[in-house]
Amino acid sequence: MYLDKRLEDDKDYGLSLFKLGDEDCIKWLDTKETGSVVYVSFGSLANLGEDQMEELACGLKQSNRYFLWVVRASEESKLPTNFATEASEKGRVVNWCPQLKVLAHPATGWFMTHCGWNSTMEALSLGVPMVAVPQWADQPTNAKYIVDIWQVGVRVKVDEKGMIRREEIELCMREVMEGERGNELKRNAVRWKEFAKEAVGEAQGHINPLVQFSKRLASKGLKVTLVVTKKSLQSQDSSIKVEHIADFLEDSNQISDNVESFINRFRVAVSRGLRELIEKQNSLGCPVKIVVYDSSMPWVLDIAHELGLYGAVFSTQSCAVGAVYYHMYKGSLKNIGPVEGSTVSLPSMPLMETKDLSSFIYDMGSYPSMLRLVVNQFSNWEKADWRLFNTFDKLEGGKCVVTINAVDGCKGFAFFHIRYGHVSSFRRLVLDRFSDFDKADWLLFNSFDKPERKVVNWMASQWPVKTVGPTIPSMYLDKRLEDDRDYDLSLFKPGDDDCIRWLDTKETGSVVYVSFGSLANLKEDQMEELACGLKRSNRYFLWVVRASEESKLPTNFSTEASENGLVVNWCPQLKVLAHPAMGCFMTHCGWNSILEALSLGVPMLAVPQWTDQPTNAKYVVDIWQAGVRVKVDEKGMIRREEIETCIREVMEGERGNELKRNAVRWKELAKAAVDEGGSSDKHIDEFISELACN
- How far is Cα 35 from Cα 106, in angstroms, rounded to an integer? 6
633 neighbors 529 (Cβ within 8 angstroms): no
Looking only at the bridges linking them, the beta strands covering 153-155 and 520-522 are unpaired
3-state DSSP assignment of residue 336: coil
Cα 1 to the chain's mean position, in Å? 20
Q: What is the 3-state secondary structure (H, E, C) of 528-558?
A: HHHHHHHHHHCCEEEEECCHHHHHHCCCCHH
74 neighbors 1 (Cβ within 8 angstroms): no
Strands (E), 162-232: 224-228
Question: How many angstroms separate the Cα of 481 from the Cα of each of 209, 217, 466, 576, 599?
Answer: 15, 11, 21, 21, 16
Give yes or no: 294 in active site: yes
- DSSP structural state of residue 623: I
Catalytic option among 105, 114, 237, 294: 294
User: What is the number of residues in the chain?
Assistant: 694
3-state DSSP assignment of residue 312: strand
Q: What is the dihedral of CA 667, 670, 672, 677, to 10 degrees?
A: -170
Nearest CA among 521, 623, 503 for reference residue 574: 503
11 neighbors 39 (Cβ within 8 angstroms): no
- How buried is residue 275: exposed, middle or buried, by Cβ count under 10 Å (0-12/13-18/19+)? middle
- How buried is residue 228: exposed, middle or buried, by Cβ count under 10 Å (0-12/13-18/19+)? buried
DSSP output for 425-454: SHHHHHHGGGTTTBT-EEEEEEEEBEETHH
- How far is Cα 342 from Cα 362, in angstroms, rounded to an integer? 13
- How far is Cα 320 from Cα 615, in angstroms, rounded to an integer? 8
Catalytic option among 206, 305, 579, 588: 206
Give yes or no: 105 in active site: no
- How far is Cα 572 from Cα 204, in angstroms, rounded to an integer? 13
- How buried is residue 136: exposed, middle or buried, by Cβ count under 10 Å (0-12/13-18/19+)? exposed
Beta bridge pairs of residue 312: 292
> Which residue type occupies 612?
D
3-state helix, strand, coil in the chain (%, to 5): 45, 15, 40
Question: How many angstroms separate the Cα of 593 from the Cα of each of 166, 189, 606, 678?
Answer: 56, 31, 11, 22
Catalogue the active-site residues. 206, 294
